[in-house]
Amino acid sequence: MKTGNLWDIFCRVIDNYGDIGVCWRLAVGLATRGERVRLWVDDASALGWIAPEGAPGVEVRPWTQPIQTGDLTMGDILVEAFGCEIAPEFIAVYAKQTRARGQKSIWINLEYLSADGFADRSHGLPSPVMTGPGAGLTKHFFYPGFSAATGGLLREPDLAARQARFDRMAWLQQLGIEFQGGRLVSLFCYEPAALGELLDQLANDPHPTRLLVTAGRAATAIKACIEGKNSSQPAWNKHNTLSFFFLPALTQNDFDHLLWACDLNFVRGEDSLVRALWANKPFVWQIYPQYDDAHHSKLEAFLERLNAPPSLRAFHHVWNDVNGLSQADLPELALPQWQQTVSAARAQQLQRDDLVTQIMRFALKNR
């Protein structure tokens, strides 16, 4: 489906990993299928380590205030990521040029990933623009999701082949991680209240564990937690059953490698959840917290889609402090059972078209 359309994707960075991570994967996915992409972003700094080499067919443009449209030729398709509200001066020129060319505008509102039923009901619905420079145009909602009624999940065509070629030991050695066997666990999180209890559980487990901690908030949280434990409970890890390795900032490809290398993955946000599913390893998800606890119902919807067993549900509830459960004991890890759950969910998702395939088809249908 190589149409050669020019896509303008707009991204406003709120969480410097998730929003830009999803938009970058979308942009690259479109470009590898023969499309041309301009990615407009208000803060592209994270791309310096997420994708330091860039990608053919993807042009990163600064989203300034206002955008200098000048002699800019408008693209064929607009993607407004996560309700970021494209600059009105850009919409005005887009509307004018598409009408002058006798083309139908295609304006897609890419929503956040959700397992809720409303994503099934709302996916693909039109939203006529009644006021402003875009009056007369129509936006369409596009919902990533886990059901056949949604737009699917981001997945590269060569993902399975890359994973099959992955050399775990070589990758660990490349990062300087000494691995003598035992369990590898990755940690990409915010600041879960149950973090200290997780460390206690791993330290008291006779099975040696090496915790691979991602750069940023996870590393800061872990260092503070270790410092607190060393001060109040000096013998908490007396057998050194639990050891730590603090990772550098990883590219998107190396984040995949991290998930593939580990026996259990703690992930956060939207992009890493999908990558954890494709990694086909047991994982625990920390959903982005919302002030009104709306994320709790979203977490439940995901656990339902996953058909999660009671042990995995209970662990998620404590890890995400659902209804104050961070004060409860973390359930024991049940990795064999969790592995079966993830493998079944992954197999089901692999039967569906990926998000890039679906959004290209959607754009063509609405042209």
Beginning with the edge strand found earlier in the chain, give each strand of the sheet holding 264-268 in spatial order. 242-246, 209-213, 183-187, 264-268, 283-286
> Residue 103: its pLDDT value, please?
87
pTM given for the model: 0.95
107/272 Cα distance (integer angstroms): 26
80/77 Cα distance (integer angstroms): 10
> Residue 16: its pLDDT value, please?
58
For the annotated catalytic residues, the residue numbers are 19, 270
- Tell me the CA distances in angstroms from 171 to 156, 209, 320, 347, one per residue in order: 21, 18, 31, 26
For 225-273, give the secondary structure using H, E and C: HHHHHHHHCCCCCCCCCEEEEECCCCCHHHHHHHHHHCCEEEEECCHHH
**Residue 60 phi, psi dihedral angles, 5° rounding:** -90, 125
Over the stretch 131-147, which tens digit does the pLDDT of each residue have? 999 999 999 999 999 99
What is the average pLDDT score of the chain? 94
Give the domains, in start order, of the chain with CATH numbers: 6-153+353-365 (3.40.50), 159-350 (3.40.50)
Lowest mean pLDDT among 215-219, 290-294, 308-312: 290-294
Over the stretch 184-240, which tens digit does the pLDDT of each residue have? 999 999 999 999 999 999 999 999 999 999 999 999 999 999 999 999 999 999 999
Over the stretch 14-60, which tens digit does the pLDDT of each residue have? 865 789 999 999 999 999 999 999 999 999 999 999 999 999 999 99
Judge whether 3 and 366 are in contact, CB under 8 Å: no
Beginning with the edge strand found earlier in the chain, give each strand of the sheet holding 126-128 in spatial order. 58-62, 36-41, 6-11, 77-81, 106-110, 138-142, 126-128
